Amino acid sequence: MTDAGERGYYPHQVAIDAYGNGGFRFADMSHRGSLLCLPTGMQAWEVGSPRELTLASLAPVLAAADDIDVLLIGLGGEIAAIDPAIRQVLRERGVIVEAVATGGAVRTYNVLLAEKRAVGAAFIAVENARA
């Protein structure tokens, strides 16, 4: 993340302007790698594939769960099954999980954020953006 402070953190939740080329653009900045978008801000996320999606990797989401109604998980370029235990833990916290390709997750996140919904997102970076 350029101009976003230490350790890849931006202190506001904002819309995603673009994705692809292994990263994301938002708030006039570029971020290379995967990204968590939470009510507490935007932060780098060390997950590069759906296989790396675990409760441990989602710890920041769990910490913010009281402020999230919907969690969008962008799984990269393809749809993949996520561990049912992840869905169960989030459901117990009152969070609905939608796991889709990153492009669809980004578009839905932007709409829900614009509607001022309590949304969070976990986006796995992709090289190629799809229309």
More confident residue, 1 or 37: 37
pLDDT in tens, 106-118: 999 999 999 999 9
50 has a pLDDT exceeding 70: yes
Which CATH number is 80's domain given? 3.40.1230.10
Query: Contact at 8 Å (CB) between 70 and 120?
Result: yes
Distance CA(117)–CA(73), nearest Å, equals 16
Best CA proximity match to 128, nearest among 78, 77, 54, 63: 77
In a domain, 21, yes or no: yes
In a domain, 2, yes or no: no
pTM of the model: 0.92
3-class state of residue 74 by DSSP:
strand
pLDDT for 103: 96
Q: Domain count of the chain?
A: 1
6 has a pLDDT exceeding 60: no
In a domain, 83, yes or no: yes
Q: How confident is the model at residue 98 (pLDDT cuts 50, 70, 90)?
A: very high
In a domain, 71, yes or no: yes
Residue 18: which domain range?
Answer: 9-123
- Residues β-bridged to residue 122: 36, 73
Mean pLDDT is lowest, of 4-8, 122-126, 127-131, for 4-8
pLDDT in tens, 52-61: 999 999 999 9
